[in-house]
Amino acid sequence: MSPRGKDEHPAHRLGAMQTLPQPMRRYSDSEAVDYCIIGVGAAGGVLLQRLARAGFRVVGLEAGPFWDTEEDWVSDEKGSHKLYWNDLRITGGSHPLALGANNSGKGVGGGTVHWAAFTPRFHPSDFRIHTEDGVGADWPISYWDLKPWYELMEREMPVAGPAWFPWGDPHGHPYGPHPLAGVGDALVRGCTKLGIRCVAGGPVAILSASHGDRPHCIYRGFCLQGCKVGAKASTLITHVPDAVAHGGEVRAWSMASRIRLGDDGRVAGVFYFDREGREHFQRARAVIVSGYAIETPRLLFNSACPGHRHGLANSSGTLGRYLMAQAGNVIAGRFDELVRLYKGPPAHALSEEFYETDPRRGFARGFAIQTVGPLPVAFAKQMVAAMGAWGWGMRRVMMDYNHWNTLGVLGEILPWEDNRVELAEEKDRFGLPVAKVTFNLHDNDKKLIEFGKQKVMEIMWAAGAERVVQESRFAHLVGAARMGSDPSTSVVDRFGRTHDVANLFICDGSIFPTQGSANPGLTIQALAARTADYLISQGDAIFHSSKRDMKEPPCRQALSPPSTRFKGVPRIA
Ligand SMILES: Cc1cc2nc3c(=O)[nH]c(=O)nc-3n(C[C@H](O)[C@H](O)[C@H](O)COP(=O)(O)OP(=O)(O)OC[C@H]3O[C@@H](n4cnc5c(N)ncnc54)[C@H](O)[C@@H]3O)c2cc1C
Ligand code: SF4
């Protein structure tokens, strides 16, 4: 990383052709901003952009760096480890989740810097699984409430994919699909042989044609390493530049430690540590926490104060509970012909044929099947778990890397009260208690995973694999500060406003009541754009009134970053 302060950099580069607008607006700690957003990731980046464009004084505190993609990023697996939240977290339960590189990012863009950018929408059924299947919980909003923002975010990233996506609410995509690479081949061949519908070439937030100042994908396979090219969408390059151009401030290396309430019981601002460990206090008229499903509850627990002894916004006792991860078993198949997993984006092709509940299977809900495409280091780790490869055995498998293909189960694990985030006794370098994550699989989850695993193995065999092995793992943490209409069983309302503190909002994956079998990123960003539209509709009332106006906001298309409206080839309405 450059020894210079990023903000003094004359041309802060965000991809092959993008530079950060200079200079960036600066607010002093003593100046009360309208909104202080904690975490500039998937949700935080969209919120910052919308609120800055709407004319609010807004600052985003980000614990990690403001990446300069030219100076900081490398197209190298090991060299990209710094993109993740690698700080200490404690994990436990009957099925402990791997943390670190398996979940959140640290730095502007958050998890969207290292995500694979698969961007399927949730199905309408995902919002009402308690009503439809008698499990989990219903969302306080429906798919149809969120649909306008799904369409908007698909244009802003933008999403490339098939002209006809047949599952859930069938739809098309703004950009055409990517060509099929080796990694998608097994899925298409195996599914075709078994008569299972699948799609190829997306939906994925990777450019299949140039877009504004960003070039199209060049199929070099380093998507999870950040994509130096700038073809893969991350809020670092899609929304943050526009936020900065409209007066939003991104304050990097700023670790929020505690949210402070004033004597009136309303949020007064946020304490945070800078890179040198100095503590500051940013005054704010309202605060939005967008720190990810682990750090969001951690910060709220660390903000406990008189009147909120068990954590801020936790009168329901549900803060930290109902944490979810999706089953992410990887099935690897060895083929006689060359596959070359590294060629092209790993997010490539999928099937949602098993997404919905089928009572004949003996469990509720379902799973998606997706291409995975690990680079060699990740593949080696999978081979240790899948076949105990080690020493000379590992060398032989790795020499054979180009003959392996990988498919993933993405399965819906239900929200359970005992899956949770709490505070551990261990502390970080600022003296803040770190998160302790407990995760257990329940009967429905185990049956679903077993069925999904067998189905994907069947597909791999049908594709012509001569050997098939599997690794059990989990992906995509959400929940732990769920939204709901009842303040006694949820943390935030349908717009992300905490039930307990009128000018405190949560907006990130932690507010999901359930998770479906779709990757969460598109839904997180759609929710963020909707929350921003709600806040804009409320104007100044958020800063002084405790009245909750529950009217749906209009979807403001005019707030899109430049070059994103009406771009691409409209596939279907
Ligand atoms: C390898 C991998 C591949 C993935 N692929 C996909 C995919 O293909 N499709 C998909 O939809 N999803 C994918 N995901 C998941 C996706 O990245 C996350 O679901 C998403 O980024 C979460 O968004 P968020 O806004 O909740 O949090 P994040 O995007 O993680 O943003 C949180 C931000 O808050 C900052 N922060 C946290 N605490 C503090 C604090 N106290 N003070 C200041 N800043 C703080 C963090 O540094 C971070 O930048 C993938 C994840 C991984 C690990
Ligand atoms: S495959 Fe495409 S999206 Fe992925 S890193 Fe390469 S250029 Fe970027």
Residue-wise pLDDT for 472-530, tens only, equals 999 999 999 999 999 999 999 999 999 999 999 999 999 999 999 999 999 999 999 99
Q: pLDDT tens, 409-461?
A: 999 999 999 999 999 999 999 999 999 999 999 999 999 999 999 999 999 99
Q: What is the mean pLDDT of the chain?
A: 94
Which pLDDT belongs to residue 8? 54
Which pLDDT belongs to residue 29? 85
CA distances from 104 to 141, 152, 182, 206, 355 (A): 26, 24, 28, 20, 25
Nearest-atom index, ligand 1, CA of 521: 11
Q: pLDDT tens, 5-28?
A: 444 556 888 887 788 887 899 999
Can you tell me the mean pLDDT for 252-278? 97
Residues 482/491, Cβ–Cβ less than 8 Å: yes
Angle between helix 182-194 and 443-462 (nearest 10) = 100
C-alpha 325 – ligand 1 centre gap (Å) = 13
Nearest-atom index, ligand 1, CA of 296: 38
C-alpha 74 – ligand 2 centre gap (Å) = 13
279-301: string of b/e by CB count within 10 Å (b at 16+)?
ebebbbbbbbbbbbbbbbbbbbb
Q: Which helix (H) or strand (E) holds 43?
A: helix 42-53
Residues 547/539, Cβ–Cβ less than 8 Å: no
C-alpha 225 – ligand 2 centre gap (Å) = 9
Q: pLDDT tens, 384-394?
A: 999 999 999 99
255 CB less than 6 Å from ligand 1?
yes
Q: Let me know the angle formed at the C-alpha of 455 by 172 and 361, rounded to the nearest 5 degrees.
A: 95
506 CB less than 6 Å from ligand 1?
no
Number of Cβ within 10 Å of residue 380's Cβ equals 17
DSSP 293: H
Nearest-atom index, ligand 2, CA of 117: 3
CA distances from 539 to 55, 205, 534, 543 (A): 10, 32, 9, 8
- Sole residue written with tokens 């994925």: 204
Can you tell me the mean pLDDT for 337-360? 95
C-alpha 344 – ligand 1 centre gap (Å) = 23
224 CB less than 6 Å from ligand 1?
yes
- What sign results for the dihedral spanned by CA atoms 211, 41, 65, 346? negative
Q: Which helix (H) or strand (E) holds 184?
A: helix 182-194
344 CB less than 6 Å from ligand 1?
no
Nearest-atom index, ligand 1, CA of 510: 26
Nearest-atom index, ligand 1, CA of 520: 11
Q: pLDDT tens, 295-346?
A: 999 999 999 999 999 999 999 999 999 999 999 999 999 999 999 999 989 9
Nearest-atom index, ligand 2, CA of 232: 3
Question: DSSP string covering 128-148, please?
Answer: BHHHHHSSS-B-SS-HHHHHH
104/278: higher pLDDT: 278
Q: Is residue 570's pLDDT more than 50? A: no
Question: DSSP string covering 423-477, please?
Answer: EEEEE-TTSPEEEEEE----HHHHHHHHHHHHHHHHHHHHTT-SEEEEE--EEEE
Q: Is residue 2's pLDDT more than 90? A: no
Q: Is residue 573's pLDDT more than 60? A: no
118 CB less than 6 Å from ligand 1?
yes
User: What is the Cα–Cα distance from 302 to 299, expressed in whole angstroms?
Assistant: 5
Residues 148/556, Cβ–Cβ less than 8 Å: no
C-alpha 43 – ligand 1 centre gap (Å) = 8
Which amino acids bring their CB within 6 angstroms of ligand 2? 206, 217-223, 227, 229, 231-232, 344-345
Q: Where are the alpha helices (DSSP H) in 342-442?
A: 376-387, 391-399
Nearest-atom index, ligand 1, CA of 101: 53
User: What is the Cα–Cα distance from 427 to 375, expressed in whole angstroms?
Assistant: 33
474 alpha carbon, closest ligand: 1
Residues 99/245, Cβ–Cβ less than 8 Å: no
564 CB less than 6 Å from ligand 1?
no
Which pLDDT belongs to residue 564? 63
438-464: string of b/e by CB count within 10 Å (b at 16+)?
bbebeebbeebbebbbebbbbbbbbbb
33 CB less than 6 Å from ligand 1?
no
C-alpha 208 – ligand 2 centre gap (Å) = 10
Pocket test for ligand 1, best of 38, 114, 115 (most atoms within 8 A of CB): 115
330 CB less than 6 Å from ligand 1?
no
Q: What are phi and psi of 469, to 5 degrees?
A: -135, 165
Report which protein residue has its CA nearest ligand 2's atom 4.
223
The amino acid that residue 529 corresponds to is: A
Name the nearest CA neighbour of 97 among 324, 292, 370: 324
Q: pLDDT tens, 211-256?
A: 888 889 999 899 999 999 999 999 999 999 999 999 999 999 999 9
Report which protein residue has its CA nearest ligand 2's atom 2.
217
Helix (H, G, I), strand (E, B) or coil at 494: coil
**Dihedral Cα 506, 565, 536, 478, nearest 10 deg:** -10
- Sole residue written with tokens 């503190």: 501
Name the nearest CA neighbour of 69 among 204, 230, 200, 184: 230
- Sole residue written with tokens 């950060």: 20
347 alpha carbon, closest ligand: 1
Can you tell me the mean pLDDT for 94-118? 92
Report which protein residue has its CA nearest ligand 1's atom 27.
292
Helix (H, G, I), strand (E, B) or coil at 92: strand
